[in-house]
Structure 1
């Protein structure tokens, strides 16, 4: 009887999973969509499962990583009566801007000008009730792609770009230099943790493993551009209209209501290990889930 009770106690200890309970202030995000997805749902796996004499151990790790660098893409366009004049004007703006950002230590090889399009521009002349279309000139569009390792440079680049009427911030990509090494490190840590869980089970129940284990893993990378959500926070009154009153005529003007965006990364809940859990800077997130299966010796 004592032996059974001891085994039950050990099994409870092995299969116990932890949960983090924190006092929470929800904030205005509650006005947004509450759709359930991987970002806001707790990650959960059965950490130890015994089925048909096979012991399966699962480990999940989340890593928050600061970016090693950023790639910013800026867009600009220029219109003129001829292609030559159009190209001269847009190149003048680009050359002035690229010369300006040299003060930030951005080298020539860290920027690239991408030619996007050259199109004709048309307009209309109106004579009485007749509108006649005519060729007005040309428009050229180009993008400037800039790489920097300093996050503080991003806002400075945007300010400098505005001096040359470059206002279109198309996108900012985050990157780490050696994703393969990050993958390897996470795999090795997960393997060590799986080995500890396996040994704990074997010791508690006096079991042995035969043969070689099988393993499968899932490695995912989450970039900031896909992790933002939007909401509009406001409460509004309503106007009730009496449609049977023909003298009721009014114009309702709606106030402008701003949309807000916020970063909502992968939740740390349910992971066996979280690396850089308290990182506040928006960066890149990595998850690795490793499941190792061992065959139990049934002759004991």
Structure 2
């Protein structure tokens, strides 16, 4: 009797993009995004590098959702009229919502084709491509401020067979204010680190050569979603000739923000919903002042007949 073995497959991770209510663009496996923390460097070697990294989590105050709509028909007139009817009726309902703006983006209007079979006596079948109608594609852009409204938009659009939520973009008017706050915090921490290095080394960097560089990196929620596939799979002892039909496994998507463990300071550290994340880094390279060379600093070592090493003080030798 064949035994059935169950093995739990580990979570398979791959990078995807998505917003708070992401959109179907995340199911394109070829999409790939880096999720690295900021790291800037100097090109030359220096004695001391003073670095400060900061992270700010900024909640969005405006959103833009993009829905894709496709219409096909036998004639251009039919396609255009059906498309306008669906868009006009759905947007009339959406515009009743408070603080909502809409825009319709023309994407494509192309003919579509199908194959006709032509069969002749004593000849193979011939497949001829013939016009079958037209296909019209448009995108509906909806700007809104309350994220809870997105569910209402989806409900309205689904009544007109508009289901494809492409993406949701996040915006905030507080980005520049947050950048200035991060720069101020970083400045204080850099000064504190420099002072600490001076105390540890017992010297001052006032006359030392210094170089400075800084930069920002902004990460949007649409770039920070990942996916995994988890399921139980059976292992069967089958004959080589057996056919196995596997089902498509569901892919789960989740929001993965940048962790705050590598930063010297974090503004708004608790993340409940997808946010706009700003990274800031400043680095100072300090080349310590070289002491001037002096002959009196030289040391001479004398090897005695017994093989012992003795250091000679040249100042004492000169005085004698």
TM-score by length of 1: 0.74
**CA deviation after TM superposition for structure 1 residue 126, in Å:** 4.1
CA contact 1:111–1:146 (8 Å) conserved in 2: yes
Take 1:238 and 1:134, find their aligned partners in 2: how far apart are those partners? 48
Corresponding position: 1:122 with 2:102: no
Q: Of residues 91, 112, 125 in structure 1, which corresponds to 2:84?
A: 91
Corresponding position: 1:264 with 2:256: yes
Change in Cα spacing, 1:113 to 1:204, as seen in structure 2 (3 Å) is: same
The correspondence of residues 126-275 of structure 1 with structure 2, limited to 5 A, is: 126=117, 129=125, 131-203=127-199, 205-211=201-207, 213-243=210-240, 250-275=242-267
**CA deviation after TM superposition for structure 1 residue 181, in Å:** 3.2
Change in Cα spacing, 1:255 to 1:133, as seen in structure 2 (3 Å) is: closer
1:16 equivalent in structure 2: none
Change in Cα spacing, 1:32 to 1:182, as seen in structure 2 (3 Å) is: same
Take 1:194 and 1:283, find their aligned partners in 2: how far apart are those partners? 27
**CA deviation after TM superposition for structure 1 residue 283, in Å:** 1.2
**CA deviation after TM superposition for structure 1 residue 204, in Å:** 5.0
CA contact 2:79–2:134 (8 Å) conserved in 1: yes
SS of equivalent residue, structure 2 residue 237: coil
Take 1:111 and 1:250, find their aligned partners in 2: how far apart are those partners? 55
Change in Cα spacing, 1:95 to 1:43, as seen in structure 2 (3 Å) is: closer
TM-score by length of 2: 0.70
5+ residue gaps in structure 1? 1-27, 244-248
Take 1:242 and 1:42, find their aligned partners in 2: how far apart are those partners? 50
Q: Of residues 12, 16, 19 in structure 2, which corresponds to 1:32?
A: 12
5+ residue gaps in structure 2? 1-7, 16-32, 120-124, 292-320
